[in-house]
Amino acid sequence: MTYIPESVMRTTILLLVLLPLGLLAQTYEVTGTVKDGQGAAVAFANVFILKASDSSIVQGTSAREDGRFVLTNVLPDLYLLKASYFGSGSKMRALDISRDVNIGTIILDNNGSDLDEVIVTARQPTLEQKADRLVFHVENTIVSQGNTWDLIRNTPGVVNVQGSLQIRGQEATVYLNDRKIQLSPTEVQDLLEGLSGSSIASVELIQNPPARYDSEGGPILNIVTSRAVTPGYKGSLQGSFTQGVFPKYQVGSSHYFKNDKLNLFTNYSISPRKEFDDVPSTINFINTSDDIFARWESQLDRVTDKLTHNANLTADYDFDKRNSINLTSNFSYTPEDRVNNRLVMEALDASQNLDSTLVTTSLIDNQTLNLATDLTYEHRFDKAGRVVKVNGHFTRYDDTQDQDGSTDYFDPSGMFTRNFTFQTDAGQDIKIYTGQLDYFDLLGEVNFEAGFKQSVIRSSSRIDYLAVNGSQSNFPDASTDNYEYSEDISAGYVSFLRNWEKWSVKAGLRAEQTRAEGNSITLSETIIQDYFELFPSFYLMRNLGEENSMSFNYSRKLRRPNYRDLNPFRYYFNEYDFASGNPNLRPSFSHNFNLNLSLKNTYFIDLYYRDNGKYVMDLSFQDNQRQILRQERQNGLGSISYGLDLIVNESITNAWYLFAYGSLFVEEEKFLGVESGNVPITNRVEGVFLQVGNFFTLSGDGTFTGEASFTYLSSFLTGSYIQDATATLNLGVKKTFWDNRASVSVAFEDILNRSNALRTTRYLNQFNSYTKNEETQILRVGFTYNFGNFRLTDNQRDVNKTERDRL
């Protein structure tokens, strides 16, 4: 039974129900009537207001049947207003909004240009430092001309490490409009490659997420789409061909419909892929005299045939101007994920003479189903700015894995000596239920947020060891195991934001009560964790004049182990090399500090320090006596990260935009050397990271663009391994045609073939290394065709559940 501390419940209820309410900044209405040249009312004409400063669309609506329209909640500012209807358009009208305005009659002229024909010249992107995040504004800019994946990996400070988006060595969580994308890194890439960058307004880098976000996790990349303003329908077809060692394909289609009440977005993609990677590795076995008495040299070749279906649905329905509901559902199904492994291992003695050869072949069949559904109800009170949101979420995740393995042994002359075979059958079923209540208001000049969330997670796993033939003591005695895991989390938060002329302060506090229970049924072992934790966050910002600012922020966070890592099962590569779970893993807690300086919104200096605590590390240990290599997850003894970052964001010319990101950093990790007499081991790296992006407009009409990017990483820590330097050079061009309805792009990635690097463990009696050579050097050709009113902006969202990150 879940225990919720009485004090937490009492505080949350009081904050949600009894706090006094204040006044909100004033907004106004703009009204009028749309008529044609003969004076007849034009029903359902599109009416827009645009910012006078840059002509970006702020808000839009449709005229009623009598031609009248109302634009509500318009903030005081200078605007341009325009109406359009099937090729007819009005003249731009300037508005200075400081009160409710009735502009009278707008006349549509057949010679007038429709809004869809207004060409907004691509601007250069800008960076903006806020109290709790760095905002990369990209709407109508050169960097948003490709797809969203290209945009994200070219965001300053973001590095793509073998398909994983990372910020300062931590994997980033990707959000879309403040809703988490609940897919694997590969599926996230597939989704974002199918989303046009032209629909993106900005990308937010949130180093220390505030209290409203779950306490679990590291930095956040929040993708903010442009606002949906125009009724109508649009659709697109996307396809891409990628040539590495093997060809890969992706085909997808997206559809969006909007009227006065309903916003509907759906997309589907299918991705047949054949992938290859080879992994050369070396293990040096060391005796008690610190001498190498044996050496294993291995070559693993892996071919993966994979077929994935992705489907997404987002539906927004407005009952009236104060009540709305949103349904978001993501579906990912991989019916075929077949991995063929062939490992050749040569065992050498101390004199480097061949002792024996092992040839292992294994076939792994995986099937995965990942379904997430999110339902949100929102009520906006009569008092502007006061909002209540109620959310419910359900996740169903099923994964099955069958493995057949066989090893042939040969003597130094190549003569066959014996054979060992094994089969395993494994599966995992995870269900996640969450309910959440959020309240937003303005208390005087203080923005106030509060909320409560309840999460229930149930995981059931099994593994069967079948048909083990041949003598091999490394396999477990038990022929099967079942593992049941349950987790209940109760959380509440409050947050306050206050802005002055030169100062901004934001503070929040999140409280979480967690109870987790893991039960190995076969081994009759139960592990229970029960803890209550507080997670404060604080942000302070000082404006130093026009476009200059300094800020400081702090937050306490935690990371929980992935559900799969808690399973006490072994997954074998061969009988001498396996990975095992660890049911004794504990959550880790971190303290994060940042000091930022922004100069002219062009130069950004960031000094950071992060105490990562005893976070879960992926470690490898070699048993020199038994000559076994095992990989396991383990809580480290401690970890710290600190460094100095510099970002330059500059338009060299109107046709050339440049950003450069440089970082001097230190990573230090401590863990227990369990095969080295349980001696504490410290790994430390002093490194340099450099990222340069160049974006070019290659034609006068802006339909031909190009990019060139370069990334360098001197060294890196990953578990017990230290990674050598990597360097990546990418080139790409894109051409749009048919009045921007179609586009073709060509990209050549990892031209230098330096994205893969050697990883080495070397301390005391541990000495092993490997290089995972993935298909990073590729040629990709993409094609997109837009149809319908393709300049509409969609309402695409995604589910926002941290619990799914641990699948």
Contact 592, 557 (CB under 8 A): yes
pLDDT at 246: 95
Instruction: Indicate the CATH number for domain 128-469+479-503+514-546+564-806.
Output: 2.40.170
pLDDT value for 226: 66
Q: Are 210 and 539 in contact (CB under 8 A)?
A: yes
Residues of the chain with pLDDT under 70: 1-26, 52-56, 86-88, 110-124, 140-147, 160-163, 169, 182-184, 186-187, 190-191, 193-199, 217, 226-231, 467, 470-479, 789-807
Half-sphere exposure at residue 397, Cβ-oriented, CA atoms within 13 angstroms:
22
Q: Report how far residue 624's alpha carbon sits from residue 341's, in angstroms, rounded to the nearest whole number.
A: 25
Rounded Cα distance between 49 and 699, Å, is 30
Hey, what's the torsion of the CAs at 614, 620, 624, 628, to 10 degrees? 130
Cα-Cα end-to-end distance for the chain? 23
Domain ranges in the chain are 27-117, 128-469+479-503+514-546+564-806
Q: CB neighbours (10 Å) of residue 612?
A: 24
pTM of the model as a whole: 0.77
Q: Are the C-beta atoms of 281 and 300 separated by less than 8 Å? A: yes
Q: What CA–CA distance (Å, rounded) separates 194 from 253?
A: 8
Map residue 594 onto helix, strand or coil: strand
Which pLDDT value is given to residue 473?
A: 56
> Helix or strand or coil: residue 193?
helix
pLDDT of residue 692: 92
Distances (CA, A) of 329 to 16, 376, 453, 513, 789: 28, 12, 20, 28, 25
Q: What is the pLDDT of residues 176-202, one digit of tens each?
A: 777 777 666 766 776 676 666 666 778
Provide the CATH topology of domain 27-117.
Answer: Immunoglobulin-like (2.60.40)
